[in-house]
Structure 1
Amino acid sequence: MTFSVDDTRGASLARRAGRVARAIACAAVFCGAATADAQAPAAAVPGVAPQMVNVAGRSATTLNGRWRSIIDPYETGYYNYRRRPDANGWFRDRKPANAQELIEYDFDQSPLLNVPGDWNSQQAELLFYEGTVWYRTRFERALAPGRRLFVHFGGANYQARAWMDGNELGMHEGGFTPFGFEVTDALEAGTHSLVVKVDNQRHPEAVPTVNSDWWNYGGITREVTLVETPSTFVRDYTLQLDPADPRRVRGWVQLDGPDSARTAVTIRIPRAGLSQTVTPDASGRAVVSFDARRLARWSPDHPNLYDVEIATAAETIRDRIGFRTLAVRGTQILLNGEPIFLRGISMHEESPYEARRAYSTDDARTSLGWVKELGGNFVRLAHYPHNEAMLRAADEMGVIVWAEIPVYWTIQWENPATLASARQQLGEMVTRDRNRASVALWSVANETPRDANPAAGPRITFLRNLVAHVRGMDNTRLITAALEHRYVGRDTIVIDDPLGEVLDVIGNNEYLGWYDGSPEKADSITWRSAFNKPLVMSEFGGDALQGLHGPAANRWTEEYQARIYQRQAAMLRRIPMLAGTSPWILKDFRSPRRPLPGIQDYFNRKGLISDRGERKLAFYELQRFYLELRAAHPDPGAER
């Protein structure tokens, strides 16, 4: 796959539409689409490498640390004064050859930024910055004959271009999913310069679009790793219980390299005494199927994980995988064949005690520990794929996950390039996380407005496409979206968005007591659904400034927020099709939409915990509700 460097930031719709075909072609083994832009220099450059899973379980070297950085709001390091790509841009990482040569940048004298990390929280002047920042690190590497090397990024927001020793590796768009570049042929023994241009500008055709309610953290926000492999290596695999026959594990292994069709692969689960050797077909794919009756099921109370080895003669990859089934029966969600009520909370990817992008295992374990403290068994990871450490911590801690892509509010439904981007990000999320037992729900959208013709407009066509795409990639999980409802009369709310016809679980966002009347309005509301399917109330709540106390009738006080949760709990108990809740939100988070001085100060204050980690009164209201629900509806496998 190749693409060329563009000479304008905004590619035309026609050029971007070409990515749709690539997105569709890559659906079976998703490749991560590269872009094709016009009027490029003569030399084409490689694109994003086919996606590699479980980097942590491979032979890898971290490139995390302190990288040199240059702020570049005019993109001077990439374009010349005619807005054409500059062949001697900053990616060359050059020094003047003599005292007469003019070079107007110097990475070695430039400030340092932590990688992983967002730039907004590291430098005060970058708090609201949207634009380009250049990153550079140097490393030494010698590669033995017959070995391959990839540089892997866990995520960079939003567009990232990378160069090795001045040679372009490729470009990736999408701020929350992994990507990588093969550098085998570009590598000689010695010290190497890796330069990355990261641009977090928002664009109407992008996913997410320009309109959102969270902080646009820019930078290389997740881990960067050098991954060394044999010439033929295991690129991807999946192992899950067969939904049609849970007595068996089924899956596949995908090899990459010249000997893919001739390399045997052995899958071992030592603790269960299971081992199987398979031979790939001509495409390098080997189908796996073995008896699962020795495997204990994964559940919130018993998050059983098994050490799994995927081995060839040249490498062994290690993972920890849990095995469980998911299904729906009428309005119930079934885990391992038994009904489960999802007691959850929504969460943004912010650090527990700081206003910055979260990325670490410690961040994840603290936040999920708060979910468990609430009495929860479930978290909605809004509104984009969170980092891989979060999913692995959820596996270990027994927290069920709703994972989603940022198809949010009002994106360009009729733009083929926007659809291609959504499919790409959905595919990259599913590829990365489909071996995580905790992931139960793939979400394709949040609060998207209905078409004028709800059953046949561009929005419904777009979202049905995404549903079909994810079903083609993974048939072991449930598909959902957070929908909007409508009133019939004054006191009846109906959920009948036509998208619900193709979903397994209906999500619904409502803000009775905050955006919709007083908290007491919930007392008189009747809920109806057009679908005989489980309902998760995916958002509800209201704002409170931690430490602000006063009458329960006064907005912004902890007492008012607690009152919302009291009235909501009473209403939720009366909804017959309700199968779960994930109110908004675990922790206060940054948002430029929230400027009210002394109260918001650019934070959304709907958190049950403040941005400094302090619990509000509503935390204990929800905790009380969840303890009652758990007593009434014990989790599958829980001690009775």
Structure 2
Amino acid sequence: MKKISSLIGVILLCSVITAQNVFQNIPNRKTTTLNGKWHYIVDVYESGYYNYRYEPRDQKEHPTNEAIFLNLKPNDRSDLHEYDFDYSPTMYVPGDWNSQDEKLFYYEGTVWYRKTFDYHKNKETNRVFLNFGAANYRTDVYMNGKKLGFHEGGFTPFYFEVTNLLKEKDNYVVVKVDNKRKKEAVPTLNTDWWNYGGITRDVDLIETESTFIADYSVQLQKSNANLIEGFINLDGESKANQQVTLSIPELKINQTVTTDDNGWVSFNIKAKKINYWSPENPKLYAVKLTYNNQTLDDKIGFRTIEVKGSDILINNKSVFLRGISIHEENPLDGRRAYCKEDAELLLGWAKEMGCNFVRLAHYPHNEHMLRLADEMGIMVWEENPVYWTIPFDNHDTYLLAEKQLKEVMIRDKNRASVIIWSMANETPRSDVRLEFLKNLAATAREIDNTRLISAALEKNRVKGKENTLGIDDPFMDYVDIISFNEYVGWYDGLPDKCKRVHWEIDYSKPVFISEFGGGALQGLHGDRLDRWSEEYQEDLYIKNIEMLRQIPQLRGMSPWILTDFRSPRRMRPVIQDGWNRKGLISEKGTKKKAFFVLQEYYKEMMEKWGK
């Protein structure tokens, strides 16, 4: 536990120039939303940030009028200003700029946002934090003319304390968001999804007491299903030697513990007759943490997850993961998904298909997805955006990947639905890549030893054996579940090839097919060999399912993908028009024929394995 504390402390106690991460359980704290209309300025040349010598204006002792973060107004008619937020257009936050302004549909670059507000604290000694659910990709944040810091990474939360800058009237927050793709970034230049730019998740002011519960973990011990363990961490000047009470009324647990000099305390509590969380029974317990008359509520499920041989065990029961892959996109609106209603749409479709599992690809999704998965009894694979051609020999790139992994793990560690942390997707094999992924996996296990580790790897042909496929990746030795993507019938031959394929996977570990599939334009019909027709996709699913049955260790799959999604890589007119057509549901919400093939297979698996 102490080792975990030190890792989280690295994130919580970082310098002012880097955003602090991560506020636990924002939905149940006292918050004031800053969602809504924000004024914005498109800054293609970043002239509001760099002067004509290409020097950052926010690092100058006396920035000039062109520094957009100052939010200046002319004092008289002779003043020179080349921007004005008051006369600039507005867009909705949270939301991406691509879908809100047609001129920004393909835009990648810098956009400045401004929000003005008044604020009155409940108590003079209280503290206030400015929290962002996520913004893509690099975010520089300023309040009342002062730089708070920056955050890099498009899918994880970050916050800044603003207590000493806050005024009762006329506050303004200015945010510079830059979504330019970069080789050394995570993800890197080359992806197969839309690079939605903007402040894409909720923005809140969080008000706390001067000392408060900053972080906590409450879950079952890995080796003992009757022992609830975890930690509580206080933040503030009075954090040492403080009493904190953990209460789970249904389990008749009410235990008071005392923090150490760092505001940290761990606990182990025996519990009887736990009603365990599972897809059949998504039981969530009301959990209360109380400190100095402050109560923080949560709903937490308790379950065990482990592998034994080729089986995945939930609460000691072998399960088959009936999954589907999902992008964080509302296809009906052609935008980044961000709200609970979006989560209900996507997970509702998955549930209708018969899924008990979803793979959230290829980056951390918004928190609504995880909390709703808890309630619906859907198991979850969460993925770090280490995708395709990351420069594995770049140490700074590794640090970015590790940072984003830590951030999502800290945010979602209390969600029972999360059973797998994925390190990467379709990364090319090399020695430096192996070290990169090994180090990520070791970090993940150090932070959380209760969940499973995997990655979406790639199949390969077995040498000297015609039509024999397997997986030869040294990273298999460091994962709990062997997961790989295969596209037999789409990128690898035609669907009839599935009948000739044999599999050799000489590992006594569960095998999970993280992707298979093919494209179809909904409403386009033809022969089963007519590429892009619903019949081709339907036949591909039928034959892939039959082919994959022969893998004895097969314990689940998450075909690619639930819905059609936007991707600039997909340029064919009439058929694609900027959409990846591998979805089982179209961008209009219409189910394709292959949807029902997978639904029938999952009904069969439910009868064989249970819900």
Provide the residue aligned with 1:164 in structure 2: 143
Q: Cα RMSD between the aligned structures?
A: 1.5
- Look up the match of 2:543: 567
- The 8 Å contact of residues 30 and 427 in structure 1, kept in 2 or not, is answered as no
Q: 1:173 to 1:246 in 2, by over 3 A?
A: same
Partner residue in 2 for 1:141: 119
Note if 1:323 corresponds to 2:302: yes
Show the counterpart of 1:619.
595
Q: What is the CA distance between 1:299 and its match in structure 2?
A: 0.6
Shift of 1:25: 10
Equivalent residue pairs, number: 599
Of 526-535 and 475-484, the range deviating more from structure 2? 526-535
Contact 2:21 2:157 in 1 (8 A): no
Equivalent residue for 1:496?
472
Is 2:247 the counterpart of 1:247? Answer: no
Match of 1:10?
none
Q: 1:547 aligns with which of 511, 523, 528?
A: 523
Query: 1:304-315 to 2 correspondence within 5 Å?
Result: 304-315=283-294
1:266-305 Cα distance to aligned partner (Å, 9 max, x none): 1111233221111111111111221232321001111001
Output the CA distance in 2 between the equivalents of 1:294 and 1:227: 36
Question: Could you list the runs of 5+ residues in structure 1 that have no partner in the other structure?
Answer: 1-22, 36-44, 452-456, 636-640
Task: Give the secondary structure class of the aligned counterpart of 1:27.
Answer: helix
Map residues 427-506 of structure 1 onto 2, 5 A cutoff: 427-451=406-430, 457-488=431-462, 489-506=465-482
Distance in 2 (CA, whole Å) between partners of 1:226 and 1:267 is 26
Residue type at the aligned position of 1:525 = V
2:70 pairs, out of 87, 92, 96, with: 92
- Stretch deviating more after TM superposition (165-174 or 284-293): 284-293
Q: Map residues 406-417 of structure 1 onto 2, 5 A cutoff.
A: 406-417=385-396
2:36: which partner in 1?
Answer: 65
| 1:621 alignment partner AA | V
Normalization by structure 2: what TM-score?
A: 0.96
**Residue identity in the other structure for 1:486:** N
Alignment match of 1:106 (pick from 80, 84, 105): 84
1:75 corresponds to 2:46: yes
For the residue of structure 2 that corresponds to 1:317, the secondary structure is strand
Answering whether residue 571 of structure 2 is matched by residue 595 of structure 1, we say yes
Deviation, 1:57, is: 1.0
What amino acid sits opposite 2:489 in the alignment? G
How far did residue 46 of structure 1 move?
A: 4.6
Which of 241, 244, 251 is matched with 1:265 structurally? 244
TM-score for the superposition, normalised by structure 1: 0.92
Counterpart CA distance in 2 for 1:540 and 1:517 is 13
Is contact 2:111-2:176 (8 Å) kept?
A: yes
| 1:30 positional shift | 5.1
- Per the alignment, in what secondary structure is the counterpart of residue 103 of structure 2? helix
Give matches, 1:337-486, under 5 Å. 337-451=316-430, 457-486=431-460
Decide whether the 8 Å contact of 1:269 with 1:306 is kept in 2. Answer: yes
Contact 1:33 1:424 in 2 (8 A): no
Percentage identity across paired residues of the two chains: 52
Is 1:194 aligned to 2:200, yes or no? no
Q: Residue 236 in 1 paired to residue 207 in 2?
A: no
1:39-70, Cα deviation, whole Å (9 max, x unpaired): xxxxxx55322421111111111110010100
**Which sections of structure 2, spanning at least 5 residues, go unmatched?**
58-62
> Aligned partner of 1:465: which letter?
N
Distance 1:158 1:494 in 2: 36
Q: What letter matches 1:464 in structure 2?
A: K
Partner of 1:13: none
Quote how far apart the aligned CAs of 1:264 are. Answer: 1.1
Partner in structure 1 of residue 552 of structure 2: 576
Q: Distance in 2 between matches of 1:597 and 1:240?
A: 50
**Greater mean alpha carbon deviation, residues 384-393 or residues 82-91:** 82-91
Letter paired with 1:93: N
2:118–2:167 Cα contact (<8 Å) kept: no
- Tell me what 2:511 maps to: 535
Alpha-carbon separation, structure 1, partners of 2:364 and 2:266: 28
Contact 1:58 1:316 in 2 (8 A): no
Aligned counterparts of 1:484 and 1:46: Cα–Cα separation in 2: 39
For residues 29 and 509 of structure 2, the distance between their equivalents in structure 1, rounded to whole angstroms, comes to 41
Question: How far apart are the structure 2 equivalents of 1:202 and 1:77?
Answer: 20
